[in-house]
């Protein structure tokens, strides 16, 4: 394996110069940089990430907290996209992303968690699937020891950024589209919301309410707690009295759809997230597609920036509306 020393020798410069070129530091003349890059090319040199990680106080590694307490394949799909996006961006930025399952932190208190992460040289974290007051989250951001990028958790300070789509707008968009498409519609909407007092749920709910006001609709609200089962039950009870069922998540939409099928009635249902499992639920459905891959990529990039000294901020990711159908899914 070629090391940075070999490159330096070949290019006729010092090791530190090579390092500067690799990391795009200033104070290197263009011609030197070219010579170094040529040497890198020639030797097919790839920096040893481990050594870099050990040496660098600054860059450190980024931990990706993976939440799979809820065991469904929907979550798996989302987590997988997050993981993939994070790892690809890491490769691009020459940093390391370390996946960490919640269950690996089990039984550790705040101090132990911190020790564990630090022993892994983790300086920043990308976190998703948590509510603001989650104890794992609290534990980790407690003493501002780590730079954090929170997906869909609205905490912003010097060392924390917040990234996510505009849930309110997205809910509004997809609900509007579903309503517009349905010509037999006469104003009876059943909205199954997420968790009470959850940021994401509240935003989506607000979006729905704003739309209702705008279009002068009557909306019945029921809390589905992001649970497929709960949504199923709610639909059994109230589905038949409404013209359209709008759910704050795909999993709940699937629950609702199942219930409708079991009752042998049809109602347009719309979901939120854009997971492929939707395709298996029954008829076609509108949903909001979140681009988990891109969000995670951006989160890692932002985390790297934070670790480099920039301050926390809010990043809004784009969303799109899609229609998912079984026959499109299968390969």
Partner DNA sequence: TTTAGCAGATAAAACGTTTTCCGAAAAGTA
Partner DNA sequence: TACTTTTCGGAAAACGTTTTATCTGCTAAA
DSSP state letter for 164: E
Choose the stretch contacting DNA; rule: CB under 7 A; options: 15-23, 176-184, 231-239, 245-253: 15-23
Least distance in angstroms from the C-beta of 219 to DNA: 53
**Looking only at residues 268 through 297 of this chain, which bind a copy of itself when binding is defined by CB under 8 A?**
275-277, 280-281
Q: How far apart are CA 176 and CA 157, in angstroms?
A: 35
Residue 159 touches which of a copy of itself, DNA, none (Cβ within 5-8 Å per kind)? none
Residue 206 touches which of a copy of itself, DNA, none (Cβ within 5-8 Å per kind)? none
Q: How far apart are CA 27 and CA 168, in angstroms?
A: 47
Rg (alpha carbons) of the chain, rounded to whole number: 24
- The alpha carbon of 130 is separated from its chain's Cα centroid by a whole number of angstroms, namely 11
Helix (H, G, I), strand (E, B) or coil at 317: strand
The 28-67 contact track toward DNA, x by CB under 7 A, reads: xx-xx------------x-xx--xx-xxxxxx--------
Cβ-count burial of 286 within 10 angstroms (0-12 exposed, 13-18 middle, 19+ buried)?
A: buried
* CA-closest candidate to residue 131, choices 155, 103, 149: 155
- Let me know: does 250 contact 227? Beta carbons within 8 Å: no
H or E segment to which residue 74 belongs: helix 73-93
Among 12, 25, 41, 54, binds a copy of itself (CB under 8 A): 54
Task: Check binding of 119 to DNA (CB under 7 A).
Answer: yes
Residue 71 touches which of DNA, a copy of itself, none (Cβ within 5-8 Å per kind)? a copy of itself
The residues of the shown chain that bind a copy of itself, judged by CB under 8 A, are: 1, 44, 46-51, 53-54, 61, 68, 70-74, 76-77, 79-80, 83-84, 87-88, 91, 99-101, 103-104, 111-112, 115-116, 118-121, 227-229, 232, 254-255, 258, 275-277, 280-281, 326, 329-331
């Amino acid at each position: 394996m070629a090391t940075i020393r070999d490159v330096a020798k070949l290019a006729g410069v010092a090791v530190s110069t090579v390092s500067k070129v690799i990391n795009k530091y200033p104070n290197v003349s263009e011609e030197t940089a070219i010579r170094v890059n040529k040497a890198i090319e020639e030797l097919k040199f790839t920096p040893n990430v481990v050594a870099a990680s050990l040496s660098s106080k600054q860059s450190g590694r980024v931990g990706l907290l993976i939440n799979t307490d809820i065991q469904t394949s929907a979550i798996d799909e989302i987590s997988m996209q997050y993981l993939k996006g994070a790892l690809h961006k890491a490769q691009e930025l020459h940093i390391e992303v370390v996946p960490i399952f919640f269950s690996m932190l089990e039984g550790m208190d705040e101090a132990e968690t911190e020790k564990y992460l630090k022993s892994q040289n983790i300086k920043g974290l990308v976190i998703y699937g948590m509510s603001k007051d989650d104890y794992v989250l609290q534990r980790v951001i407690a003493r501002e020891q780590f730079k954090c990028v929170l997906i869909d958790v609205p905490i912003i300070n010097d060392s924390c950024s917040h990234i996510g789509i505009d849930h309110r707008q997205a809910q509004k968009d997809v609900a509007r589209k579903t309503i517009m498409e349905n010509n037999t519609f006469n104003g009876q909407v059943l909205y199954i919301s997420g968790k009470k007092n959850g940021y994401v749920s509240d935003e989506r709910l607000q979006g729905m309410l704003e739309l209702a006001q705008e279009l002068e609709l009557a909306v019945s609200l029921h809390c589905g707690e992001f649970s497929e089962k709960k949504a199923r039950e709610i639909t059994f009870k109230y589905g038949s009295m409404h013209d359209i069922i709008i759910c704050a998540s795909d999993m709940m939409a699937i629950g609702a759809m199942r219930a409708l099928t079991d009752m042998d009635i049809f109602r347009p249902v719309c979901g939120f997230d854009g997971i492929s499992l939707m395709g298996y639920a029954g008829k076609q459905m509108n949903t909001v597609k979140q681009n988990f891959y891109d969000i995670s990529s951006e989160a890692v990039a932002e985390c790297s920036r934070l670790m480099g000294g920039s301050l926390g901020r809010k990043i809004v990711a784009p969303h799109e509306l899609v229609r998912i159908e079984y026959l499109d899914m299968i390969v």
